[in-house]
A and B are shown apart, each in its own frame.
Chain A
Amino acid sequence: MPTSGLQSRTRQAIDRAQEEALVRAAQGDDGHALRRLYEAYRAQVYSLALYSVGDAAQAQDVLQAVFLKVFRGLRGFRFHSSLSTWIYRIAHNECREHHRRRKPFVPLEAVLGSMDEVDPQPNSHDQHARRERDRIIQQAVMQLPFHMREVVVLKYVEGLSYDDMSRVLGCAPGTVASRLNRALATLGERLRPFKQCL
């Protein structure tokens, strides 16, 4: 079930102090703490994975692989970055691995239909129209090249800052800004034919 980007950006996971206490407990293999960490970050990792690999079954595989690595690597976590940055970084690496083995995407128009086949938006409050709009935007994002798709999802879905994105992706903030520019410009251009129903 999709939720709005705004809702996702304001979603509170757990605060820093709680997070540290939880990690310390989880480092002692406290099952309750491990379950809570999984519950706190599951949604974010799944969303990033699904946008990155474009397939629900594969996204679940990524989610599983990420948390296995998180659980196994947690004892080595030294609080040099925030836990979320560390988890996103593992997720980024896992998504990149899956992306290398992916099947090629079909063109956007083949997924969405031509402009004539897409229902124009009759009423901005109409639920069906909103779902259609979300689907078009999601598909357009999933069609972006992997490195562009990631920055868009990290910024607009996960709500990360440029600095956090730079730490997760392992590149300079300037490179993040350039990628984001190219991604958004590409998105704007690709969705131009669908503008009237967005």
Chain B
Amino acid sequence: MSCWRFDLRKRMLLYLEGRLPEPKTARLERHLLDCESCRALVVSLRAGHQMARRLASLELESAEAPDFEPEIAGLEAAASEGGTPGLVWQGWLDRLATPRIITVLSAVVLLQLGLLVVSNRGVLLGERSRTSIAAGAIDLAGFRHMTISELKSNTQPHVATDGYVEHVHTDEEEGTVAFRLVESSQNKSSFVVCEIMSPIQMAPPAEGSRVRVYGVERYDAQQDRNWYEVNPVLSIVPLKP
């Protein structure tokens, strides 16, 4: 995998099916002329597409079909006795869904959203400034510099931290690139996972290189993760080893 044009790769099947609009087709074909990795993908995709088109629907013999007669008879009996006990709450739901209740709920949701935006404005500003970094418009001095192990006790959203790059990994589904930043080759237990949202705009650093990463610190509490992240990465500056 050596091409990060995820936007073009996602359109390849439409291209093979002849459903990609003309300007996008021309752009994809120009890219294919230059990109060996994408040409190889088109060849594999075409083979897979041709085979999948022959895929048959697997049907059930009528004799093997599950019998729902007892279930259907039970529902009919419950209806004729004046309603299904398990679905009594449904009537309450219908009564609750009045225009007035919906208006009040909408107002509450909007208020919550407003509060969310205000409370996360630092993070949101960080996200917006990612593009301005490319133009050199952000002040990197405003980021709090600390070691990777100090990230655990940090409370500021914008951080800068140094380390060695390991395990550069592309998530093709999401179109992102992540890498692990370790404090030193001797201390790999202290690390932070750094995620680049748009690898086209910001090339990931080489594995083994020493860099300073600027970005927004988060904690990923998912069960198989439980680690600190710099996500999104807003800038990467190479350092001397």
Contacts and interface: CB of A to CB of B under 8 A. Distances in A.
A105 interface: no
B90 interface: yes
B9 interface: yes
Contacts of B93: 76
Interface in A2-60: 2-8, 11, 28-31, 34-35, 38, 42-43, 46-47, 50-51, 56, 59-60
A21 to B, nearest CB: 17
Interface residues of B, number: 45
Contacts of B13: 177, 180-181, 184
Contacts of B84: 29, 75
B173 A178 contact: yes
Nearest to B76: A31
B71 interface: yes
Determine chain B's interface SS by DSSP, over half rule. helix
B61 interface: yes
Contacts of A187: 47-48, 51-52
Nearest to A187: B48
B72 A71 contact: yes
A184 B61 contact: no
B146 interface: no
Nearest to B52: A156
A129 interface: no
Contacts of B55: 5, 137-138, 141, 152-153, 156-157
Contact of A177 (B10, B72, B73): B10
A31 B66 contact: no
B68 A38 contact: yes
Contacts of A180: 13
B12 interface: yes
Nearest to B10: A177
B59 interface: yes
B15 to A, nearest CB: 11
Interface in B148-202: 172-175
A140 B47 CA distance: 13
B115 interface: no
Contact of A29 (B78, B90, B172): B78
Contact of A43 (B52, B57, B66): B57
Interface stretch (A61-69, A86-94, A95-103, A113-121): A61-69
B65 A185 contact: no
Contact of A60 (B56, B60, B73, B174): B60
A3 B10 contact: no
B137 interface: no
A134 B53 CA distance: 11
Interface of B: 6, 9-13, 41, 43-49, 51-61, 64-66, 68, 71-73, 75-76, 78-79, 84, 86-87, 90, 93, 172-175
Given A72-B86, A185-B44, A189-B47, 18 more contacts: A1-B59, A2-B59, A7-B57, A8-B57, A43-B60, A47-B58, A60-B65, A63-B65, A67-B68, A134-B54, A137-B56, A152-B52, A178-B9, A181-B9, A186-B48, A187-B48, A187-B51, A191-B48
17 contacts: A2-B58, A3-B57, A4-B56, A5-B55, A11-B57, A30-B76, A46-B60, A60-B66, A138-B56, A174-B10, A177-B13, A181-B13, A183-B48, A185-B48, A188-B47, A188-B51, A189-B48
